[in-house]
Structure 1
Amino acid sequence: MIHRKEIATLISDKLTKEKETLKAQFLKSEKEIGFFYVDELLPESLVLDIYKSFPKLSQTKQRKNIREFKYIAYQMDKYNALLEEVIYAFQDVKVVQLVSEICGIESLIPDENLYAGGLSLMAKDNYLSPHLDNSHDKDRHLWRVLNLLFYVTPNWELDNGGNLELWNNGLKNEPIVVQSKCNRLVVMATHDKSWHSVNKVLKDDVRRCVSNYYFSEKSLLQDDNFHVTTFRGRPSQKVKDIFFRLDNNLRTAVRKVFEKGIRENPHQYKK
């Protein structure tokens, strides 16, 4: 089996080759939600192996509520070892440094605990409402600054749904849709203005994604504040948006009293 160091070298080689193009792409969008994406990140045969290694939906944890409907996996020692290798390849020092240089963000810190990271699977009718990611790591010591999404489902078309939406011009306008194309890595900034979502999966198939977060001792925006994962409704969802606002306020109030929450968030890799 291929080791994470070898995968990291493949990722680093690709990012190095595309570095200037990716820097320009991130810089162009930096004032709203900075992001870049790179296609054909890894050899096709390796991506297919990663795809085939994903667990069945029955082996994952379902997240289903008014905010989201998806499946997640993060206790990586329960699954095919290749999946852990590819996740932690994105945390290799060479890869982190290249992403740092591309995005112009110093002192990035990868998350070995996979807090809210790991594997994401979305089947037919699954979705993720517009939201801001939780601003901090599990201990509230570091700021969450980058989200890395690596898609591995072969032949995933735009019309299948399950695509990333970046609300660069606010929630009253149309989002940028980034196709969840196989072998595509998307890197996006996370801060107080980085609203994003995943539109509903329309095809009877499963969209598979490898997810990582990078943290930093400094927030990306000077006026960033602590916030829980914060949801909003789409422009057409007026009633749902009112509910989300109330829900956000309630959960934020709880965190002001209980800094780390009432209970520990289970979404982390317990080694």
Structure 2
Amino acid sequence: MTRDEFSDLIFSKIEKNQEVLSKQFEASKTKIGFFYLDDLLPNEIAIKISECFPKSSEMVLKKSIRENKYIAAQMNLYHPILEDIIYAFQEERIVKLVAKICKIKEAFPDDKLYAGGISLMGKNQFLNPHLDNSHDKERERWRVLNLLYYVTPDWDLKNGGNLELWPNGLSKNQITIESKFNRLVAMATHNNSLHSVSPIVVDKERKCVSNYYFSNEPLELSDTFHVTSFRGRPENKITDLILKTDTWLRMNLRKIFKKGVKENPHYYKKGSKN
């Protein structure tokens, strides 16, 4: 399939479900706005996308107290279908439709895939509760939406590796959104959109295609600049203390170095093979 054909299918599916998705986002937007849509693409296409994911050894491992996962943004190193499905979500009419559903005045895709692209997580891997970086790579636009498309066949809730939203903070119960096969999730990103991925407890790989949308204005008037800010899970009090200190230190460094001490390598370097 071509990129345009992917876009046609995605747009048609979202448009047909626009009313339901709008109600879903509206009902949740006072905390962390989100919607999800199942069976986004024909199953055989979603399976093909999953089959074309690179091996973990061909991706970048991010492993620390904050997170443990494999990522990739240099899409020209992999099967073309992966780049096509990522950029299909960046087609103008799809961006405008999703923004309309979420009642966002304007939204722009990120062709550099800053912190986007594809990710893979296996047994014991996780992503601790965190706020996404508030801005794009150049710190010019605000991050407003996170689009996640899951492509692991037969994924089950009990496997772990599910998206968790913490609209009332870590002292209250989270909302769990299953990383169900062929499911698209869109969630708002702002100063209070704390989210995580639960640890995977089975010997199976969770595969995800990620995009971010940005805007010239933040979602909330109270939003302020922040680096990616991690917390520990509620049961991990010591980890939480360490991560809060880590965030404080990195935030203070950014007051001195506006774009950071070193460049974040997680973006698509067009024309490069590295």
Bin for the TM-score computed over the shorter chain: over 0.9
1:108-187 to 2 correspondence within 5 Å?
108-187=107-186
Q: Deviations over 1:141-188 (max 9, x none)?
A: 000000000000000000000000000121111100000000000000
- Give the 3-state SS of the residue equivalent to 1:69 in structure 2: strand
Is it true that 1:267 corresponds to 2:247 in the alignment? no
- Give the 3-state SS of the residue equivalent to 2:111 in structure 1: coil
Unaligned runs of 5+ in 1: none
**Offset, 1:4:** 1.1
Q: Deviations over 1:72-120 (max 9, x none)?
A: 0110000000000000000001110110111000210000000000001
Aligned counterparts of 1:123 and 1:231: Cα–Cα separation in 2: 20
Unaligned runs of 5+ in 2: none
1:26-105 to 2 correspondence within 5 Å?
26-105=25-104
**Offset, 1:245:** 1.1
**Offset, 1:237:** 1.4
Q: Deviations over 1:211-239 (max 9, x none)?
A: 00000000000010000000111222111
Q: Structure 1 length as normaliser, TM-score?
A: 0.99
**Runs of 4+ residues over 6 Å off in structure 1:** none
How many residues align structurally?
270
**Offset, 1:55:** 0.2
Aligned counterparts of 2:140 and 2:130: Cα–Cα separation in 1: 22
Q: Percent identity?
A: 55
Aligned counterparts of 2:126 and 2:239: Cα–Cα separation in 1: 15
Structure 2 match to 1:227: 226
Is it true that 1:16 corresponds to 2:15 in the alignment? yes
Give me the CA root mean square deviation.
0.5
**Offset, 1:47:** 0.4
1:226-265 to 2 correspondence within 5 Å?
226-265=225-264
- Give the 3-state SS of the residue equivalent to 1:148 in structure 2: strand
Aligned counterparts of 1:238 and 1:56: Cα–Cα separation in 2: 34
**Offset, 1:60:** 0.2
What amino acid sits opposite 1:114 in the alignment? Answer: L
**Offset, 1:254:** 0.7
- Give the 3-state SS of the residue equivalent to 2:221 in structure 1: coil
Moved more, 168-177 or 77-86: 168-177
Structure 1 match to 2:24: 25
- Give the 3-state SS of the residue equivalent to 2:32 in structure 1: coil
Q: Structure 2 length as normaliser, TM-score?
A: 0.98
Aligned counterparts of 2:2 and 2:172: Cα–Cα separation in 1: 43
**Offset, 1:31:** 0.3
